[in-house]
Structure 1
Amino acid sequence: MIASPVLTDQYQRSLSDPEGFWAEQAGAIPWIRKPGRIRSTDRDGLHHWFTGGKLNTCYAAIDHHVGHGRGEQIALIYDSPMTGVVRRISYRELQQEVARLAGALRAQGVGAGDRVIIYMPMLCETAFAMLACARLGAVHSVVFGGFAPRELAIRIDDAEPKVVLTASCGLEFDRVIPYKPLLDEALQLATHQPTRCLLLQRPQCPAELDTTLYSDWQTVVDEAEPADCVTVAATDPLYILYTSGTTGKPKGIVRDNGGHAVALAYSMKAVYNLEPGQVMFTASDFGWAVGHSYSVYGPLIYGCTSVILEGKPVRTPDAGTFWRIVQDHKVNVLFTAPTAFRAIRKEDPEAALSKQYDLSSLQAVFVAGERCDPATLAWLQRITGVPVVDHWWQTESGWPMVANQLGIEPLPVKPGSPTKPVCGYDLQILGEDGTQLGPNEEGYVCLRLPLPPGCLPTLWRDTPRFRNAYLTRFPGYYLSGDGGYIDDDGYVFITGRVDDVINVAGHRLSTGDMEELVSSHPAVAECAVVGVACPLRGQRPVGFVVLKDGQTITGEAIEGELITLIRDNIGAVAWFRNALLVKRLPKTRSGKILRKTIRQLADGESFEVPPTIDDPLILNEIRALLAARKVGIAFER
């Protein structure tokens, strides 16, 4: 058994005395009024943390530091290799920028509890927007700029924002992406309409503004009076972040103010082993949970410096970008998805570019969003010479659930495992009947209730769905949706999703949504979309399509049309690149499509032919088709 007395004691206390443990951690937050109760339960039986407490997250992230001697410390570093711009913003400058933008939002009628959609690229102004909403007590919802108008429209209708904040364009290595046409189309599709849209003009693609709905961001900000921080309850929502569900409609994950601030401040030391004043570089889009927690709120609440990268690691301008950023900005902790490092390794397998830069400031590398394969882990350890920590968490949790807690006591690394549960998380592996499984027995990864601070208290305006999605399958537990097991040393291993949500480069996407779109094509009789293993992205979707009788469309033509259909409705982020024509799909005798079996075929896994399959010969046909098209990891090696 690999054990750590210090870590074990803290972990056990976090479970046996959660109120006492989290009361201590709450002491690190500048409360306007300290909470009357550490943990409570509402009339619906849902758990809440720090009831009665009053605070403002923006104050904790900015104003508190300015008032306690950190005003001249750099808070944000914006680095855009594509434009050649590097911008350093002190805590005092950040306070001024955010207060003025908050004043501009207030002038548009935004107040506490109102929602604001943020549809923007990786810019300083995107962070300003998040913090400005927090300053007013408004609830922001950041929508990833890679999402298509349909996905944006769904989120607009669900959040019902008073204002939408956007930019004229986003930048990729080889193209400019105008945002206003995408937002315009989304607003045409949406039922709810905001009262105003503020648009940040970028010189790469200025937009024509319709003054009946749009205002120029900078003009409105210049005319605004700075806004002070608005006091909110600890249990009031800070933001909504949408994540894919299995029913087609995204789930609006709610994050409260108090628990969120306490959990992130705790994690900055306990997990990432950072000190105030040090530098964290989190290479994640603001539209994802990682970007919220560790590009913006976590580092700022803890008094660190955060680096914001506009661009991708191998295209901006080369695979040495990450290493250059570590050197230039004296990065202490680097955090990204394994996909990014697989892409870098593909371009620079011998890590020659890393030798051109001084990486001596680096203390640790963290990866999350998908399992880090042992080869990439070993490659990173060899390059950096520092601990490489694969840790596991979800949009729902907002901060790590399983990790090597470097700030308490580091444990030996086991490739393939994110190590052990973080303090506050009572993780159990349950069987189909809800019984607790023993070592090395694979089952459902669940967390005994209550969840610790920072995790979702419910879904936006949909508590029944929250219960059905997470709490009903195993009463008294939160169902993570992942399968896994715990080994003899207490290390957790996550084996994959147990529903239809796949993980494409750290982005959770529903294959059910994709099947619905593929099925809408007039030539398609039926289809299955499965996530297959991808050495670069972790998983990627592959469609298997049965055409209607009498169709003469070629496989190449329909594949192109389906790729366009998915891209237009979900976005390029889905990475849907293959639609394979099959005569029929493998099914059980009762008519259920054997999606797991198809995935196992594509992944090259060994498996027994299901005894309930209606036609075993179809598996050989699909195997031959996969090999001919070189689809799936088994055929890409």
Structure 2
Amino acid sequence: MNSLDLSVNSRDPVYRASPDLIRNAQVSAETYAADYQRSLDDPDRFWAEKAREWLSWEQPFTQVRRCNFVEGKLAWFEDGALNVSVNCLDRHLPTRRDQPAILWEGDDPEASNVLTYGELFEAVCRFANVLKDQGVRRGDRVCLYLPMIPEGAIAMLACARIGAVHSVVFGGFSAEALRDRIEDSACRIVVCADQGLRGGRASPLKANVDEALAHLDPGIKVIVVRHTGADITWHDDRDLDYATLMAAASPNCPAEAMGAEDPLFILYTSGSTGRPKGVVHTTGGYLLQAVMTHRLVFDYREGEIYWCTADYGWITGHSYVVYGPLGNGATTVVFEGVPTYPNPGRFWQIIEKYGVNIFYTAPTAIRALMGNGNHWVHESRLESLRILGSVGEPINPEAWNWFYHVVGDSRCPIVDTW
């Protein structure tokens, strides 16, 4: 395939974006086709330009890629060095220090919090120092078993800042699944909450950690975020209080210059076809992909409010809740709860509350909400919406049409990323 065919050969209706959106889009059909062709004709030059344009480098690279598809070995920008935390935080501070970085919405509609870029930077530096004080060094693995609270993003970025490799485990996984991942990745620290909250129900995260660690290395430390304040079993020789450690930590932490091919995180497959496999994502190539796709695929514009409903525990949460949006200096919404609690209008109420412009969710959620009727959508003002997105599985025509016509009022294009 040497050129891009943008023609439509289908009997299905074609819904074209508005003239205003087309005119002001980050990428037009013509520029996309030209860029695509350039990426085929001279991929090294194309990706070198993109990496220098989109990312901040501590040490410039001279080698763009080294690929051997027979052996399955791929390397990007491997003689360059950068830091993901710097790209997501430090470089934005001169112009965005007081801009919201995270808008957190709790499971309880009365619970919310705002972290500016300046506040997030300080929290990340403090927790990076906490990890260093506990002996975590470059290349060490840290397990994160947290609900959708700001501390999850803080911990991910703190690991990236000092070169530790994070392994996020979905908070809905069992103690056995957690144990397998901690053991396989040889984590030195587990960061968890006392409990998670979803749909008004508490999940026993700390209790699951206790069970998971019962027969593992006794030297593993546990840092506990007191999220709900529930009574939990406490092991004085192992457990550490997050708030106490943060209060004592310095708000300044120099960032490690990481090789572009150094690991950033390990994320395990679901295990649906066998034992879960830890997939290692490296620093430079991953971050370039996350930042570019967030801005270009979703046509992100400066100052917009972006919301991806994915959990930190999935790759979509890594890329489109944390690294992509923050790499672009965006404001990202982090939601702890579920779309139907305390009522099926929760998503739409959050969109109205924060003035969300780009909304990215899964067909499963769309179908569930569609089944509750249109009136829940119409009770909230959704004029702020500009772009919709679907992820995680193919979206069926009925759900697509409802999402487009009812939620998007027949004016918001849908980005289908399946």
> What TM-score results when the alignment is normalised by the length of structure 1?
0.59
- 2:166 aligned partner: 140
Cα deviation, residue 214, structure 1: 0.6
- 1:301 aligned partner: 327
Q: Which amino acid aligns with 1:212?
A: D
Q: Residues 153, 13 of structure 1: CA spacing in aligned structure 2 closer, same or farther, 3 A cutoff?
A: same
- 2:317 aligned partner: 291
- 1:28 aligned partner: 54
Tell me which of 390, 402, 409 is aligned to 1:367. Answer: 390
CA–CA distance in structure 2, aligned partners of residues 2 and 301 of structure 1: 30
Instruction: Output one character per residue of 1:79-138: Cα deviation in whole Å (capped at 9) or x when no partner.
Output: 114261111110000001111011111100011100000001110011111111011110
SS of 2:371's equivalent in the other structure is helix
Tell me which of 230, 238, 245 is aligned to 1:220. Answer: 245
CA–CA distance in structure 2, aligned partners of residues 194 and 299 of structure 1: 36
Cα deviation, residue 319, structure 1: 1.4
CA–CA distance in structure 2, aligned partners of residues 6 and 41 of structure 1: 27
CA–CA distance in structure 2, aligned partners of residues 140 and 341 of structure 1: 31
Instruction: Output one character per residue of 1:332-390: Cα deviation in whole Å (capped at 9) or x when no partner.
Output: 1101111111111112x2x1122222212211110110110100100111121311222
- 1:49 aligned partner: 76
CA–CA distance in structure 2, aligned partners of residues 206 and 181 of structure 1: 10
CA contact (8 A) 2:107 2:338 kept: no
Cα deviation, residue 241, structure 1: 0.4
SS of 1:69's equivalent in the other structure is helix
Cα deviation, residue 206, structure 1: 3.4
Identity percentage of aligned residues: 37
CA–CA distance in structure 2, aligned partners of residues 204 and 108 of structure 1: 24
Residue 274, structure 1, aligned to residue 300, structure 2 = yes
Worse-matched range after superposition: 44-53 or 94-103: 44-53
CA–CA distance in structure 2, aligned partners of residues 194 and 367 of structure 1: 42
Residue 62, structure 1, aligned to residue 85, structure 2 = no
- 1:249 aligned partner: 275
CA contact (8 A) 1:156 1:192 kept: no
Residue 324, structure 1, aligned to residue 349, structure 2 = yes
- 2:339 aligned partner: 313
Q: Which amino acid aligns with 1:62?
A: L
CA–CA distance in structure 2, aligned partners of residues 174 and 99 of structure 1: 32
CA–CA distance in structure 1, aligned partners of residues 396 and 347 of structure 2: 20
Between structure 1 and structure 2, the one with the greater Rg is 1
CA–CA distance in structure 2, aligned partners of residues 194 and 334 of structure 1: 42
SS of 1:212's equivalent in the other structure is coil
CA contact (8 A) 1:142 1:287 kept: yes
CA contact (8 A) 1:278 1:305 kept: yes
SS of 1:277's equivalent in the other structure is coil
Residue 381, structure 1, aligned to residue 381, structure 2 = no
CA–CA distance in structure 2, aligned partners of residues 271 and 309 of structure 1: 22
- 1:15 aligned partner: 40
CA contact (8 A) 1:176 1:204 kept: no
Instruction: Output one character per residue of 1:510-537: Cα deviation in whole Å (capped at 9) or x when no partner.
Output: xxxxxxxxxxxxxxxxxxxxxxxxxxxx
Instruction: Output one character per residue of 1:615-635: Cα deviation in whole Å (capped at 9) or x when no partner.
Output: xxxxxxxxxxxxxxxxxxxxx
* Greater percentage in helix: 2
SS of 1:219's equivalent in the other structure is helix
Instruction: Output one character per residue of 1:34-89: Cα deviation in whole Å (capped at 9) or x when no partner.
Output: 112111248966111111111110010001101x3111111000011426111111
Cα deviation, residue 194, structure 1: 4.8
Residue 206, structure 1, aligned to residue 228, structure 2 = no
Residue 345, structure 1, aligned to residue 379, structure 2 = no
CA contact (8 A) 1:281 1:333 kept: yes
CA contact (8 A) 1:78 1:86 kept: yes
| Structure 1, unpaired ranges of 5+ | 393-637
CA–CA distance in structure 2, aligned partners of residues 160 and 127 of structure 1: 21
Q: What root-mean-square deviation, in Å, do the aligned CA atoms of Structure 1 and Structure 2 show?
A: 1.7
Cα deviation, residue 245, structure 1: 4.5
CA contact (8 A) 1:160 1:194 kept: no
CA–CA distance in structure 2, aligned partners of residues 200 and 6 of structure 1: 47
CA–CA distance in structure 1, aligned partners of residues 390 and 399 of structure 2: 11
CA–CA distance in structure 2, aligned partners of residues 93 and 113 of structure 1: 26
CA contact (8 A) 2:176 2:212 kept: yes
SS of 1:276's equivalent in the other structure is coil
- 1:236 aligned partner: 262
- 1:488 aligned partner: none
CA–CA distance in structure 2, aligned partners of residues 137 and 193 of structure 1: 24
- 1:196 aligned partner: 221
Worse-matched range after superposition: 39-48 or 106-115: 39-48
CA–CA distance in structure 1, aligned partners of residues 272 and 171 of structure 2: 22
- 2:138 aligned partner: 112
Q: Which amino acid aligns with 1:335?
A: Y
CA–CA distance in structure 2, aligned partners of residues 193 and 241 of structure 1: 24
- 1:593 aligned partner: none
Q: Residues 156, 194 of structure 1: CA spacing in aligned structure 2 closer, same or farther, 3 A cutoff?
A: farther
CA–CA distance in structure 1, aligned partners of residues 193 and 239 of structure 2: 11
CA contact (8 A) 2:102 2:334 kept: yes
CA–CA distance in structure 2, aligned partners of residues 290 and 176 of structure 1: 24
CA contact (8 A) 2:298 2:415 kept: no
CA–CA distance in structure 2, aligned partners of residues 225 and 29 of structure 1: 27
CA contact (8 A) 2:195 2:228 kept: no
CA contact (8 A) 1:160 1:193 kept: no
Pairs aligned (count): 387
- 2:24 aligned partner: none
CA contact (8 A) 1:51 1:235 kept: yes
> What TM-score results when the alignment is normalised by the length of structure 2?
0.89
- 2:128 aligned partner: 102
CA contact (8 A) 1:176 1:205 kept: no
SS of 1:365's equivalent in the other structure is strand
Cα deviation, residue 277, structure 1: 2.5
CA–CA distance in structure 1, aligned partners of residues 311 and 285 of structure 2: 23
CA–CA distance in structure 1, aligned partners of residues 173 and 30 of structure 2: 46
Cα deviation, residue 193, structure 1: 4.8
- Name the structure, 1 or 2, with higher relative contact order (CA <8 Å, separation 6+): 2
CA–CA distance in structure 2, aligned partners of residues 246 and 215 of structure 1: 34
CA contact (8 A) 1:240 1:252 kept: yes
Instruction: Output one character per residue of 1:223-265: Cα deviation in whole Å (capped at 9) or x when no partner.
Output: 1223221111011010000013466221111111111121122
- 1:396 aligned partner: none
CA–CA distance in structure 1, aligned partners of residues 169 and 72 of structure 2: 30
CA–CA distance in structure 2, aligned partners of residues 192 and 25 of structure 1: 44
CA contact (8 A) 2:103 2:334 kept: yes
| Structure 2, unpaired ranges of 5+ | 8-28
CA–CA distance in structure 2, aligned partners of residues 71 and 206 of structure 1: 37
